[in-house]
Chain A
């Protein structure tokens, strides 16, 4: 027996859920929340996505379109559209973006320099060096300039061990490319002491025993210097919040807070 083409494809409970959601929306517009909630609950049970669609269209007609129903836009809907995960030129497709280099889509070779000569201004001294453009500021400091006081923990901006000051502000050296730091003054832990005297924050860390293994300490100190420069840290709670970008696996937090409070009073 041949299939009857006039019978619409089964769409599950979507149409019914939509109808219920639309009725619920009418009840909501009329101010009858009890009815609206009951109808929405029933529609949710059948097909929550249909309910979300109806609510998205509600925003669209009431205020403006939303991302749930983006404006019809040929550019935007074509596969060559340029979202964030945007594609390459037509024909090259998304695969050029994948690090896995999936078969059938050769990666476009770079057209611009893959190595550059730069000048890094670190602790008042200018260093000329040539780096692969992939080099992070952290690796340039440690491996090219031999400034190993800045530590490498996660290399993903999560631990704060690599904190340095760039243009006077605390940043994660692991999340900056060395080529992007060219000509921006940088201060590392090696640049804090003056004439053999420890910086007040360094002194406070020593006096308050604000470390155990010490691996996170230069990052903690640089972050604390940044915090004080920003004029923050008026309470212990604020110090803790403002030091959230620096993890200490030994758990020396209590003494770190003591040290920063003392340094703030001393400065």
Chain B
């Protein structure tokens, strides 16, 4: 680990100023990903700006929905009675995230900004276009079992590994962001960038911006929402495939649907074709099978991850049956 400077921000303007004045600085909150990256020599910022003192922790009502402060710990969100009752997909996704220890430390915004688990990105001794632009991508024909089948480019196929972002996609969640030029709202759907030929640029955040909150609007779908995570072991493991779904139903008919998948795309991945198929009728086994069939159009698997194509279809089918009370 190379030496870095440490500064503690006492309030939000000071945090933004510290980031602006020291451009090679990284904000640190829970630290659960950043300290791994430092230990492995994957990143070497000139300073860390500790933002834990900023008053951004807690969950409060916002209109009919909820506003989750950026520094709220994952366990606090997963255990919140309002989240469990009204946004169950989010509570479930977080219950299945990491370990109890990590959930007590990791923050809401930090979770969204966690970096890929691609083996080559995490190994500083090998080339990686995300870590060292232009150095190459050994994952293309290497150990790519965990890599993406959607949204890859010729320079990067690293999968977005998180759970919470998939749930937030189907909840139409928005972020509050503050920066040197003031505040703005940003849909979670617009936060992550596909790699293209700049895989080192992962989000649409601007220099020195800090995510301050996540807004969960109340929608006709949010309370009927479900999460399924499939992995190599039962707990404390990254997803092979995960699926979030939120449905609005009336008289047994699906009025509107949101479906998103995790660990299959280079970003959290919406499945619009599945949504459209669902929005046409009742949710029964045949409908779940037909909708799941549409989940993998456009998939581009590599040498070791073609299993994700089948697994994604199975996971979509399964979570829809769960949503319909059929499984």
Interface residue ranges, A against B (CB under 8 Å): 21, 24-25, 28-29, 31, 33, 36-37, 40-41, 43-44, 48-49, 51-55, 58-59, 62, 64-68, 70-71, 73, 75-76, 79-89, 92, 94-102, 107-114, 116, 132-134, 136, 155-157, 160, 163, 169-172, 174-177, 179-180, 223, 226-227, 230, 240-242, 244-246
Contact = CB atoms under 8 A, between A and B. Distances in A.
A100 B135 CA distance: 12
B23 A88 contact: yes
Contacts of A136: 35
B101 A171 contact: yes
Contacts of B303: none
29 contacts: A21-B297, A28-B276, A40-B298, A48-B300, A49-B152, A49-B300, A52-B151, A53-B298, A59-B270, A65-B187, A67-B190, A68-B194, A75-B207, A84-B202, A85-B131, A85-B200, A88-B24, A89-B23, A96-B46, A99-B42, A99-B43, A100-B132, A134-B38, A171-B101, A171-B105, A175-B36, A175-B102, A244-B236, A245-B98
B311 interface: no
B44 A44 contact: no
Given A67-B268, A100-B124, A176-B35, A37 B200 contact: no
Task: Please provide the 10 A-B residue pairs with the shortest distance between their CB atoms, ordered closest to farther.
Answer: A245-B99, A112-B5, A110-B5, A52-B298, A51-B298, A244-B235, A99-B41, A133-B6, A82-B207, A244-B236
Interface string B135-157: 00000000000000011100000
A107 B35 contact: no
A83 B105 contact: no
Given A64-B189, A92-B23, A179-B50, A227 B100 contact: yes
A20 B192 CA distance: 28
A67 B193 contact: yes
A83 B201 contact: yes
A190 B63 CA distance: 47
B47 interface: yes
Interface string B22-59: 11100010011001101111111111101010000000
Contacts of A110: 3-5, 46-47
A135 B293 CA distance: 51
Contacts of B268: 67
A55 B101 contact: no
A85 B201 CA distance: 6
Contacts, number: 268
Contacts of B267: 67-68
Given A51-B298, A55-B272, A86 B235 contact: no
Most chain B CB atoms below 10 A, which of A52, A75, A96, A160: A52
B304 interface: no
Interface string B108-126: 0000010100000000100
A121 B145 CA distance: 44
Contacts of A156: 36, 39-40
B101 A51 contact: no
Contacts of A88: 23-24, 46
Given A55-B297, A108-B24, A177-B31, A245 B4 contact: no
B47 A112 contact: yes
Nearest to A74: B206
Given A107-B46, A136-B35, A245-B100, 10 more contacts: A51-B298, A52-B151, A58-B273, A67-B192, A70-B190, A107-B2, A110-B4, A157-B35, A171-B104, A175-B36
A68 B115 CA distance: 18
B104 A170 contact: yes
Contact of B24 (A49, A97, A227, A230): A97
Given A67-B268, A108-B46, A156-B36, A134 B132 contact: no
A244 B236 CA distance: 6
B297 A82 contact: no
Nearest to B179: A82
Contact of B130 (A85, A86, A155, A240): A85
A41 B296 CA distance: 10
B321 interface: no
B218 interface: no
B100 A244 contact: yes
A28 B297 CA distance: 12
A227 B53 CA distance: 26
Contacts of A31: 280
Contacts of A102: 132
B230 interface: no
Interface in B212-239: 234-236
B12 interface: no
B191 to A, nearest CB: 7
Contact of A71 (B32, B102, B204): B204
A99 B4 CA distance: 11
A120 to B, nearest CB: 15
Contacts of A79: 198
Interface string B267-298: 11010110011001000000000100110011
B254 interface: no
Contact of B189 (A33, A55, A67): A67
Contacts of B194: 67-68
